[in-house]
Chains A and B, each alone.
Chain A
Amino acid sequence: MAAHIAEKKGTFLEEVIEATPGGERLVHCLQCGSCGGSCPSGADMQYTPRTLIAMINANDRDAVLAANTMWACVSCYFCTSRCPQDIPITDIIYTLKRLSIAEKRYRDTDAPALAKTFTDFVDRYGRSFEFGLATGYHLLKRPISMMKMGPMGLQMFTRGRMALRPTKIRQIEQLQAIINKAKELSGSK
């Protein structure tokens, strides 16, 4: 297997493998299509996971990172669970999301904005914050849908299911030190 990967030196395939724990299984893809056939979002994808893996193999980096496939993924793990070659497909999709976000290659999706808003709350408070997510992300990205959400939001609130303020953990500095170290080691901000 090592020799097989060595032939891929400097390719996109190698890059994806390096960035994904267990990613070396990628070279064993049979193109059987179990992944795409199992995917609840398959019909909404430009390229199903099977096609995307073929494109990775073909070194078609730009097209892969601009694909909508990653943003239609719901992390249901059917593809991973059913892959006869034990390829961690969902984790590879996560790797592609990270590369696409880092290089701002994504198109026509608010998923990166949602992810950013969500993790900013975690970085700041140590807990997620649904009301902040709703007001921050939705007001910015989808004001019309926000209005449709109104009645639901009110119902959630009256049933005590939505807090207006975030909870902050006590040792937030400790968590932030951990996060900063991770960002430093992984070379991202």
Chain B
Amino acid sequence: MKFAYYPGCSLERNAAAYDHSVREVSDLLGIKLQEIDDWNCCGATEYFSQNELAACAVIARNLALVEPQTDQIVAPCAACYLNLAKTDKLMVDHPEFGKEVNQCLAAGGLKYEPGRVTVRHMLDVIVDDVGETAVRDKVVRPLAGLRVAPYYGCQVVRPIDNNDNPEYPMKMDHLLSWLGAEVVDYPVKAHCCGGHLTQISEPQAFELIRRLLQNAQDYNTDMIICMCPMCQLNLDGYQSRVNGFFGTEFKLPIMYFTQMLGIAFGIDPQKLGFGKELVTAMPVLEAKLGGQLV
């Protein structure tokens, strides 16, 4: 299984734990990731707010840089995933627009044939391509007794069909159950974390974050498992601010699903980026899984 790998800007620093755990877990599962050389930012939601053609041209440069012998690209970040997939789809569905994007690329000596590269999210690769048997085979440290709430967020499950339910996705639920975890049926699993509103309108963003944390706590969740750097930042990084704002006392670790895979596969937590989260995960993990993990 070989994929072009698009880490995206968040995974360089803010979500380095996601990048480390993606690479560790992929190695173990036989997923070959070839990082796209000299990739650029996907523009998040910000470029689309200003100039659609420029937004798509910026994104399409990454698609154009995928080596000719590779026809699939995997992105762990939800915004990157959607931007890459959406740009390709726009170019396929609207050939005139596709031509304009290629006119832009030509200014940089590049060209992209719409539809050539299939854009995948990391979760889909592990659940759909690697599959249950191969994942279960690697589990040496089952997550038995750990209650986890799978949190999908928005942009992987909507609006592009990723072969899951856009209202109530199940892929991560299945994956975490293969690891032996107790998976909480989390009603708000595909609701919004507030996205960039933490930067623009804190009261609005904090309320969306509060609902997600409150709901998880109501279901006696030990930790929330996410698949997007923005979700992780909003729920983890802003958790103490949200507590201050509402007078709540949430203390929920927010971890990436690849970190949990790594733990179940027996990988050293340090290599998986444990310790980078602001709400620490180790105490509850060691209490539930029994003993030292290092």
Chain A interfacial positions (CB closer than 8 Å to B)? 19, 21-22, 40-41, 44, 71-72, 74-78, 80-81, 88, 90, 94-95, 97-98, 101, 109-112, 114-116, 118-119, 121-122, 126-130, 133, 137-138, 145, 148, 151-152, 155-156, 159-163, 167, 169-171, 174-175, 177-183, 185-186, 188
Contact = CB atoms under 8 A, between A and B. Distances in A.
B48 A94 contact: yes
A110 B49 CA distance: 13
A111 B12 contact: no
Contacts of A155: 278
Contact of A178 (B43, B58, B240, B277): B58
B107, B241, B278: most-surrounded residue (chain A CB, <10 A):
B107
B51 A161 contact: no
Report the 4 A-B pairs with minimum CB-CB distance, sorted nearest first: A181-B107, A77-B158, A182-B54, A118-B46
Interface of B: 9-10, 12-16, 38-41, 43-54, 56-58, 61, 90, 93-94, 97, 100, 103-110, 154-155, 158-159, 166-167, 191-192, 194-197, 199-202, 204, 208, 237-238, 240-241, 275-278
B192 A40 contact: yes
Given A181-B57, A182-B53, A186-B53, A114 B241 contact: no
Contact of A162 (B14, B40, B196): B14
Contacts of A95: 52
B13 A126 contact: no
Contacts, number: 194
A167 to B, nearest CB: 6
Would you call the interface of chain B mostly helix, strand, loop, or mixed? loop
A74 B201 CA distance: 11
A184 to B, nearest CB: 9
A77 B156 CA distance: 10
A119 B43 contact: yes
Contacts of A88: 159
Contact of A40 (B54, B159, B208, B278): B208
A183 B51 contact: yes
B76 to A, nearest CB: 16
Contact of B47 (A21, A119, A127, A169): A119
Given A114-B199, A121-B41, A167-B12, 11 more contacts: A76-B195, A81-B159, A81-B167, A112-B49, A128-B9, A133-B199, A138-B199, A160-B16, A174-B109, A178-B107, A188-B50
B208 A178 contact: no
Nearest to A157: B13
A77 B38 contact: no
A22 B86 CA distance: 12
How would you classify the secondary structure of chain A's contact residues: helix, strand, loop or mixed? Answer: helix
A12 to B, nearest CB: 18
27 contacts: A21-B90, A21-B94, A41-B204, A74-B192, A75-B45, A75-B155, A75-B195, A76-B158, A76-B195, A78-B154, A78-B158, A126-B40, A126-B41, A128-B9, A152-B238, A156-B237, A156-B278, A159-B277, A161-B276, A177-B108, A178-B104, A178-B105, A179-B57, A182-B58, A185-B103, A185-B104, A186-B53
Contacts of B52: 19, 94-95, 98, 186
B13 A160 contact: yes
A186 B51 CA distance: 8
B51 A44 contact: no
Contacts of A110: 199-200
A61 to B, nearest CB: 19
B60 to A, nearest CB: 8
Nearest to A109: B200
A145 B48 CA distance: 26
B25 to A, nearest CB: 20
Contacts of A81: 158-159, 166-167
Contacts of A44: 201, 204
Contact of A160 (B39, B61, B100, B276): B276
A180 to B, nearest CB: 7
A72 B192 contact: no
Contacts of B10: 128
B200 A114 contact: yes
A59 B129 CA distance: 49
Contacts of A152: 237-238, 240-241, 278
A153 B43 CA distance: 22
